[in-house]
Amino acid sequence: MFATRFAPSPTGYLHKGHAFSALTALAAARAAGGRFVLRIEDIDATRVRPEFETAIYEDLAWLGLDWERPVRRQSQHLDDYHAALGRLEADGLVYRCFRTRKEVAEAMASAPHGPMEVFQGGPLPRAEEMRRLAAGEPFAWRLSLDAAARRLGGFGGLTFMEGEAEIAAKPELGGDVVLARKDVGVAYHLAVVVDDALQGITHVIRGCDLFEATHVQRVLQALLGLPAPVYGHHDLLLGADGKRFAKRDQSETLRSLREGGMSAADLRKELGFD
């Protein structure tokens, strides 16, 4: 059955762009007679706030949306993500990266063939890795694109569907992405592919700012034997200044619009959903 989802992170109040994305996904589900799922992506405990999660439910209900219950909250399903990470580790597809963000940036800037746009490192020699682990140094788990390419026989035949168009996956756009780190536990790319598979999501409808993320997510799906949804990346809404809406734009949050007297019907009409 057709199933799509809206998966916000409770790190701020929803804005017009979120409303457009949620309404687009809901409209697609209704047109197909399918399922609309709300998922709360709250794995980043350093940034999420309970009041923002409460506001998500309030804002979407005010907007006229309904969704399946219970709502999946990522923070309650960390075992699912750790199990997937464990499989990747057992297959030699991830490595421990001890570099800080600053060190990663410096390594990219000083690459021998010119600055790299994305990071590709690799595991440390075993003895050095063991020394750092014994010293209690923090590390992140990174996907090894080199190992992934060997496992899959290269990326040449790996594709995903963008609507009716078949797109060649180019995971080099993301490099050796972080899949887990100490402060977050598990990172976005891994959690989202696990969730989409477990929740039976057949169509992922989201903003075009996440198009490049699809390439590495398609690799993870292939490595973990997970189904690949059909993707649809819509244009982003822009404000009067020509910039896309962001959570810091308090004047355009759904909460502020509602408090300012705008009705949900007026907002839906403005966004093209009469």
172-210: pLDDT as tens digits: 988 999 999 876 689 999 999 999 999 999 999 999 999
Low-confidence stretches of the chain (pLDDT beneath 50): 113-115
pLDDT at 95: 95
Domain boundaries defined on the chain: 1-75+238-274, 77-190
Peptide bond into 10 cis (omega under 30): no
Angle at the Cα of 83 (from 149 to 168), degrees rounded to 5? Answer: 30
Q: In the CATH scheme, what architecture does the domain 77-190 have?
A: Alpha-Beta Complex (3.90)
Do the beta carbons of residue 72 and residue 34 sit within 8 Å?
no
> Mapping DSSP to helix (H, G, I), strand (E, B) and coil, where does residue 11 land?
coil
Do the beta carbons of residue 53 and residue 40 sit within 8 Å?
yes
> Mapping DSSP to helix (H, G, I), strand (E, B) and coil, where does residue 23 land?
helix
The helix (run of H) or strand (run of E) holding residue 155 is none
Integer angstrom CA distances of residue 70 from 13, 37, 38, 50, 199:
21, 10, 9, 17, 12
| 28-69 pLDDT, tens digit each | 999 999 999 999 999 988 899 999 999 999 999 999 999 999
Query: In angstroms, rounded to a whole number, what is the distance separating the alpha carbons of residues 83 and 223?
Result: 14
pLDDT at 113: 46
pTM: 0.91
Query: In angstroms, rounded to a whole number, what is the distance separating the alpha carbons of residues 272 and 266?
Result: 10
**Residue in the structure block whose two tokens are 């026989």:** 153
pLDDT at 183: 63
pLDDT at 274: 76
CATH class of residue range 1-75+238-274:
alpha beta
| Residue among 154, 124, 269 nearest 219 (CA) | 154
